[in-house]
Structure 1
Amino acid sequence: MIEPVRALLQFTTVLPLGKIVPFEAFARNTWLYPLAGYITGGIGALVILLLPAPSFVQAVLATGAVLLVSGANHLDGLLDFGDGLMAHGSREKRIRALTDRQMGTGALALGMMVTLLTVASLSSFHQALTAASALIFAEAGGKWSMAILTAYGRPFHEGLHAVLHEQSRKWFVVPATLLLIPAFLLPLPGVAKAGAAIVLVVVPLCMQALAYRLFGGVNGDVTGATGEINRCALLTALAIILV
């Protein structure tokens, strides 16, 4: 499993991992997505635990670290999704707004809202260990939702998502979910984990339904946006429950 894990991290992060592994090694094992969340979330958690600063500053820098390590790849998908979401007119116009290279007001609005809510939620935890645990939980959960959408999200055109979807299998949900077990062992209250578990499942279901309605299917931008939105939703849910 060394090559698939390296391929996963080369796809989801900018970490220097040496020689490039064939992309197919990850494409055949997309259930590994949550592992990337532990890495990126763990790096952000280290910022919270090691940086002596106010909680809001820690939250900003930890969120920035997660985006930096991931190369802002999924954030790009969120911005594209924002343009497609806010576009008016036919399905073809929405798809064109989703897939073009320009960033519009929809991208700016959704990107700002998700990022600001992520930072605000992360800064609301009273203890650094709780904030760090919540970030790891949310990152792993966000990547889990990407694995689910990759396996179950019908592509609306040929592209990266179509390649990953073709290689994925419906039963990938089982090993992907098993990889979340360590996240549920983090030092967070049981009621918070239970509430977050509901959000964890609801967000990708809603994103898939919305993508089918707006675009007729899913692409890589929708998948990346789902990871970003689910991370934000999980942090928000944990923050509300733990107030």
Structure 2
Amino acid sequence: MKGFFRSIAATFGFCTILPVGNNVDFDYYARRYYLMPLVGYLTGCIAAGVAILLGSTSFAAAASIAVLLILYGFNHLDGLLDFGDGLMAHGSREKRMKALTDQNVGAGGVGLAMVVILMTYSGLSALPAMPAALIVAEVCAKFSQVAMIAFGEPLREGIHSYVRSFGKKYYVIPAFLICIPVILMPFSVREFSAAIIATAISIAFVYFAATRLFGGVNGDVDGASGEITRMAVIAALALAV
């Protein structure tokens, strides 16, 4: 049981800039990375608090997104930028891999990040239940990252391959069970169905794009999956209202 709580602390410490679990062995996170949706509940609640404080206005939508990006230390945004560069690169798989792993940011990365952030902002602004949507979207985003780690064949040695070596594909099952309490949010069956479909489509898109274009998945792809899924879920909720 002590190891389980250390894994929770390590998961929060690794995924966010919050001063929780920073001194806990990274392996505790890797052994139980299926706990990541718990992070989504916390970050979602913090962003929801910002939205409530600011009155669920357009400014609140922008501020909530900013808070989320900061809570993750812009790490997932960095992954999204690299993923965008890899997607938009022309030529062989090797050239796409170089664009994905290059430290420089190109037009593809900037363009994809702009699309994701603008769509997230627009969707949030259109949602009356903005705080609840933030929680649902964050939990779904973290589930998508669990799925990406569980099923994504490593592109090369790195954080993704190391974490994946500790887990099993069935880790998506406990991760899904952790997500179930989001049904308490004030959304209809239609809206929840839209969110689930958006999550599945996002995971499939990122997974198949990475596998086809790069030959596998790395940490950047994991981070991009979370950002894209958040956007897709918020957009789906906004369209289903």
Q: Which moved more, 1:55-64 or 1:181-190?
A: 181-190
Shift of the 32–89 alpha-carbon distance from structure 1 to 2, 3 Å rule, reads same
| 2:209 alignment counterpart | 210
| 2:9 alignment counterpart | 6
CA contact (8 A) 2:12 2:21 kept: no
| 2:162 alignment counterpart | 163
| 1:40 alignment counterpart | 43
CA deviation profile, 1:157-205 (whole Å, cap 9, x unmatched): 1111000111110110110000111112211112100111111122112
Write the mapping of 1:69-218 to structure 2, written as runs, cut at 5 A. 69-126=71-128, 130-218=129-217
> 1:27 pairs with 16, 26, 30, which one?
30
Q: What's the CA shift for 1:18?
A: 6.0
- Distance across 1 between alignment mates of 2:204 and 2:166: 21
Q: Which moved more, 1:168-177 or 1:14-23?
A: 14-23
> Equivalent residue of 2:165, what SS?
helix
Alignment root-mean-square deviation, CA = 1.1
- Distance across 1 between alignment mates of 2:26 and 2:68: 22
Identity of aligned residues (%): 44
> Equivalent residue of 1:88, what SS?
coil
- Distance across 1 between alignment mates of 2:157 and 2:21: 30
| Structure 2 unmatched runs, 5+ | none
Aligned residues: 238
**TM-score normalised by structure 2 residue count:** 0.96
CA contact (8 A) 2:10 2:22 kept: no
CA contact (8 A) 1:44 1:63 kept: yes
Write the mapping of 1:53-72 to structure 2, written as runs, cut at 5 A. 55-72=57-74
CA deviation profile, 1:77-125 (whole Å, cap 9, x unmatched): 0000011111111101100110011111011100011001101100111
- Distance across 1 between alignment mates of 2:118 and 2:8: 31
What is the one-letter code of the residue matched to 2:169? K
What is the one-letter code of the residue matched to 2:132? S
What is the one-letter code of the residue matched to 1:86? M
- Distance across 1 between alignment mates of 2:72 and 2:43: 7
- Distance across 2 between alignment mates of 1:61 and 1:50: 11
What is the one-letter code of the residue matched to 1:30? Y
What is the one-letter code of the residue matched to 1:233? A
**TM-score normalised by structure 1 residue count:** 0.95
| 1:226 alignment counterpart | 225
- Distance across 1 between alignment mates of 2:218 and 2:141: 16
CA contact (8 A) 2:14 2:22 kept: no
| Structure 1 unmatched runs, 5+ | none
CA contact (8 A) 1:55 1:124 kept: no
